[in-house]
Amino acid sequence: MQAPAPDATDYLRRILNARVYDVARRTELQHATVLSEQLGHDILLKREDTQPVSSFKLRGAYNRISGLPADVLARGIITASAGNHAQGVAWSAAQLGAPAVIVVPQTAPRVKVDATRRFGGPTVEVVEAGESYNEAFAHALALQRERGMTFIPAFDDPDVIAGQGTVAMEILSQHQGRIDAIFVPIGGGSLAAGVATYVKMVRPDIRVIGVQTHDSCAMARSIEAGRRVELPEVGLFSDGTAVKLVGEETFRLCRDYLDEVILVDTDEVCLAIKDIYKDTRRFVEPAGALAVAGARRYASQAGARRFTLVAITSGANLNIDRIRFIAERAAVGESREAIFAVSIPEERGSFLHFCELVGERNVTEFNYRLGTDDKARIFVGLQIDDRAEEAPLAATFEAAGFSVVNLGGDELATQHIRHMVGGRSTDAQGERLFRFEFPERPGALMRFLRSMSPEWNISLFHYRNQGADCSSTLVGIQAGADDAALTRFLDRLGYPYREETANPAYRLFLR
């Protein structure tokens, strides 16, 4: 018979007695001076990015592992993880001298895999298996049965949840004055569950707000539906929170104790990474910036009263190759760049007139190509101080007789089209355009090409390495009358994709 789930009082006791400080540190609650001045609210950063493994995950992992009986610990532990949990388990196993096996997918960020090996040392075996977390998890379960080891869950376990809840215990002891809201990133939900349960037991007046990305919002969808909802796909930019299905226990606690869940996009996360760097001179990973992105959005909608907001910076295991992409997208998230597609008459003086309208404004991107009809298209990026400047700019161009499309929120335009402007192909008849997320591993592209019908033609291809475990790839395909077969092929392929054939940026510049 399964034991009943712990109630809130039991979780309070577990958190107060959690064994985390053998390995974890009591991280700083830092006043974010620059961000506070910018937003007009007091922003405090709970610096979990400064833990020994650069992530809060050490707390829950060690609390779970250190509670195992000596004979069980001697037989070894095993887990599956794509990143920070793996490092927490490796560090904990090394400190306790326990044998451990950590299974990571072959697509896991290299910086996290290398750190897991380094933290674990000779007692920890890192096994790379499968193309996804689910496949790595299945392999870990098979090894567990074979070797008789104990599985350490990444989030759906009371001791893991209690370990993460010590973050809230520290926040409330470090700042005993007014706190209006605490922002917590959500992946599987252990941190949010632990923090929300503790805060609502001790300081129910404080709002606890979860933060997820729009494309990895399993907890938000589950709370809305009143049951756990499994997402068919998740976005991988914030790889630390890319979870398709949250835990049963974490869902129960978040449903009961979270006040709300805020959703943010990639540009907002990149801006939050930049915000954190300004105040700390430290780059956090995307998942580590989610809480700040949520706090920024919350603050922008607040009234005149000055709020005190706490954001948990949950991790700093950032692949350095991502910084170029983050800097590029932070400008959009900061509303510092307006992007337009402008059609001007193909006649003498039109281009000069357009440039005169731009005037002294700083140009961030400018692509112009002579048209094949009576219109020429310009892809232009302009520096602005506020998103409210976009509409007057567009009106100025339209008043001059130019047709304008605002591309600022268009993912295809910001990811691909701005790098591809240069002309159309008269031979691309019947082309359908798709944007894929290809895993960054050898053979991914060849798998795609070899599985295509030889009757189909690739008419366009553009690849962008984001410095992550997944790349954004734009592909044009001419399938003729075989559209139904193409759709079946794409659905079987297993790579997340979105059709962009009707996208206005594509039709203006490449179609």
Residues 6+ apart with CB under 8 A from 443: none
Between CA 14 and CA 6 the distance in angstroms is 10
List beta partners, residue 473: 436, 463
Between CA 133 and CA 81 the distance in angstroms is 7
Between CA 75 and CA 97 the distance in angstroms is 11
Catalytic residue among 314, 343, 471, 472: 314
Residues 6+ apart with CB under 8 A from 498: 434, 435
Residue 314 annotated among the catalytic residues of the structure? yes
Between CA 507 and CA 502 the distance in angstroms is 7
Whether the CB-CB separation of 508 and 245 falls below 8 Å is answered with no
DSSP 278: H
Between CA 451 and CA 394 the distance in angstroms is 44
Only one residue has tokens 């440039």, namely 355
Between CA 107 and CA 129 the distance in angstroms is 9
Catalytic residue among 46, 57, 112, 274: 57
DSSP 266: H
Q: Kindly report the number of other CB atoms within 10 A of residue 449's CB atom.
A: 8
Active-site residue set = 57, 314
